A and B are shown apart, each in its own frame.
Chain A
Amino acid sequence: MEHALVMRNITKTFGGVPVLIDVDFTVGKGEIHALIGENGAGKSTLMNILGGVIPKDKGDIELFGEIEEFHTPAEALAKGIAFVHQELNVVNDLTVYENLFLGHEIRGRFGKLNKAEMIRKTEEVFGRIDVKIDPTAVVRDLQATYKQIIEIAKSVLFNAKLIIMDEPTTSLTQHEVENVFRVMKNLTEQESATIIFISHKLKEVVEFCDTFTVLRNGEVIGTQTTRGEGGDVVDQADIARMMVGRDVINVEVYKERNEGDVLLSVKDIRVDGHVNGISFDLHRGEILGITGLLGDGKEELARTIFGDIRRSAGTMELGGKPIDPRQPAAARGLGIGMLPSNRKENAIIKDLTVAGNMTIVTLPDYRRGFTLVKSREYDAAERYKERLNIKVQDLHHLIGSLSGGNQQKVVLAKWLIAKPDVMLLCNPTQGVDVGAKNEIYNIIMELAELGMGIIVTTGEAAEAARICDRLLVMYHGDLQGELNRQDFSEESIMILSTGGHLH
């Protein structure tokens, strides 16, 4: 097989600490090659070296048979390397097609923009990846998930030869993920592109990728094909063990619990354009999952309960009393907490320290008179750092210095300190690696055991199946079906979430 990329003996140290140690990484032409490992294993560093973002200390890069040296991302791009970043690099005030062609606008005579042609090409690209987005829509009005699709569409548009995708599917649900991978398959088969795919989702790795390389602590643990000689698929648990060095996926996180009385009762909630009359009861000690595809309304439903968006109709009762939170501060006062999705935009206060982020919800509790007593604040942060096993050298460091999983635990901690009765968790393991995922699941179990009512919205059926007692499946704002734990199967969840019916 021809090689698209050969990286040899790549070594990189930051301030005397080795991050990559003699890494050999070979990618065959036309394959989808997954690069996996826990946060901090060195994946991003390796790809940043390839993309010309940071220099390497040692080693060679051979791209399509030529030894190359990239000093800037622009040089890498010129050689056909496109980097689809995890962060959303879209301009909110421009339209979809303007974002796609940003910096590469098609011009007519006198430099006049050829809008019709750009819109046509945008439609063509969206046609290829089978997504329905109006090219002339303003990006601000789109959901974050569509923004991610625009990012991916960019590299499709420019027909890059080697595409690096850094967790492009983090905020996508099953259906969109399949679309994206179908496009990726098309690219590799028909347009002979090669794709390096960085992901935490092992399911996607075994289903859609040809080969995978596992990095751990800056070293290559191994490179394997996802299908053996006889075509049998590699076990996800084996990959996870390679990544973490111990068994994680088969670990049972679910624990039987006794459920209490009805805690939160939601009746006929409507949010214009998103939720069409949803009713359910949440019991004390229950973990209720809400799942569905992109645009199903689960996120809006959670935000409505938290008072973040206004419902157009419906009633809510908490502990038998009617409630009507008009903003998150009111919901917090009633004992409702929410861990929002898209951590960076919605949950991280980047100029505050780790401790500052952990205590932001409960700040008035650490006062003596008017004065904030730092030692009390620090004690609370320290306690929850221990309890949630948050890996941080110093609670006074800025929150940005932590890995995704640890940031997520900090966000969780700020609500746990407040001890809410109802906790809404939106995509609780978004951008969190496999090891930390289990820790977060264990925390959720522990909270339910203590009698908290928990609602988890998630796009991952496997996640819902691992932790939830009961699952509501939404489809275009309607409640399509309800499953009890014994009836969970990825198949039935998929049928319901695509608008089908069981039996």
Chain B
Amino acid sequence: MGTTVSAVRTSNKRGAFNRFAREYMIVLITIGVFISATIACTIKFGDPSTFLNMQNMVNILRASSVMGIIALGMAFVIISGNIDLSVGAQMVFVGIASFNVINGLEPHIGPYGAIVVGIIAAMAMSVALSMMCGFIVTKGVVPSFIITLGLSYIYRSLSIFVLQSGGINISTKVFQNISNTNLGIVPMPVVYFFIVFAVYLYISRYTVMGRRIFAVGSNSQATRLSGINTDWIKIQAFALLGLTVAIAAIVEGSRMNSMNSSSSGLGYDLNTIAMAVVGGIAMEGGKGNFVNVLFGIIILGMINNVLTIMGMDVYLVNAVKGGIIIAAVLLLRSRGKLN
């Protein structure tokens, strides 16, 4: 067994280093971005605490929480071998529908009942829409890229049409408490984010559904021939994303106390994809680790935060952000290639 054994052994030795690099590169990048941000602020303001203070760390997490929640769902869809470009528009569409439900029911059943019904309606509607999307993609055997792009236009256009490009406010003040309260010093959106994170991490590692989503993304044909309904697995991945979109709609709507048909959710699609990919989710599917996605979300959050603190020209922010995203992904890839 000459070569096989030796190949295994070498890959063990080098593989151990590779595994370490692959698993922890993202941590190193996070630390790198963190230190760079601290140094940049120190140079500019002569005081590291402009970036490095507890309140700012909490701010980073809070600002990342809504998109972070969606990024967790997006990770499953990308692992399953698909992509979803409609999450921003879907969030607005679902949000508007749900807030209408809450506003309509509140005079009849009171704020608490209305909110509960509204949240359930948002989740049911969003999961149903995402499953419909998954159904079209799998049964039509069409690329999810183009289907979700089309759906994104539909959701956004319908939202704008219904509200005549305006926004919707929520009449009950109670609704604002969902996102604008704290648990200790931790804002509630961050708490929701970590709850979703814990649940999705669990699904990815300890459930049949999670394992099969990885299998489908890795080799759909082999998974199908293992007697598994691969279309259903892909639809389930979309459902997991739909759920996060509904949660994001509630958290975002509560924080802003409104949802605007033309300006809410803009750029959420590509930002959440970037979070997942910087977090090591491979675009070709089948590979990824949810702990790393957490770091991907934090990295993008820190970049946004420090560029704002530094007072960078808003027109330039995205150029810098784009450059950092590309650099981070290249670094992750170069470690993977050593294998």
Contacts and interface: CB of A to CB of B under 8 A. Distances in A.
Interface residues of B, number: 36
Contact of A401 (B8, B225, B226): B8
A274 B210 CA distance: 37
Contacts of B333: none
B321 interface: no
A217 B226 contact: no
Contacts of B226: 328, 332, 349, 360-361, 414
A17 B5 contact: yes
A422 interface: no
B229 A329 contact: yes
Mostly, the B contact residues are helix
Contacts of A110: none
Which 6 A-B pairs rank lowest in CB-CB distance, beginning with the nearest? A332-B227, A15-B10, A40-B4, A17-B6, A351-B218, A14-B6
B49 interface: no
A483 to B, nearest CB: 29
| Interface-central residue, A14, A16, A38, A345, by most chain B CB under 10 Å | A14
Given A328-B225, A360-B228, A363-B208, A348 B219 contact: yes
A17 B206 CA distance: 37
Interface string A27-70: 00000000000111110110000000000000000000000000
A41 B10 contact: no
Given A328-B225, A370-B207, A397-B8, A351 B3 contact: no
B221 interface: yes
Interface in B247-275: none
A403 B1 CA distance: 9
A375 interface: no
B304 to A, nearest CB: 31
A49 to B, nearest CB: 12
Given A349-B219, A367-B208, A372-B207, A328 B224 contact: yes
Contacts of B223: 349, 360
A346 interface: yes
Nearest to B4: A40
Interface of A: 13-20, 38-42, 44-45, 217-218, 306, 308, 327-329, 331-333, 337-338, 340, 345-352, 356, 360-361, 363-364, 367, 370-372, 374, 391, 393, 397, 401-403, 414, 418
Nearest to A336: B227
A328 B208 contact: no
A273 B229 CA distance: 26
Interface string B214-247: 1101110111111111000000000000000000
Nearest to A392: B8
Nearest to B286: A351
14 contacts: A15-B9, A16-B9, A17-B5, A17-B9, A17-B10, A19-B3, A40-B2, A329-B227, A350-B286, A356-B211, A372-B210, A391-B1, A401-B8, A418-B227
A397 B8 CA distance: 9
A349 B218 contact: yes
Contact of B11 (A327, A345, A374, A401): A401
Contact of A14 (B9, B207, B219, B228): B9
A349 B2 CA distance: 25
Contacts of B6: 13-15, 17-19
B335 interface: no
B227 A331 contact: yes
Nearest to A307: B227
Given A13-B6, A363-B212, 13 more contacts: A14-B7, A15-B6, A17-B9, A18-B6, A329-B229, A333-B227, A350-B218, A351-B215, A352-B214, A356-B215, A360-B212, A372-B207, A414-B226
A180 B156 CA distance: 60
B214 to A, nearest CB: 6
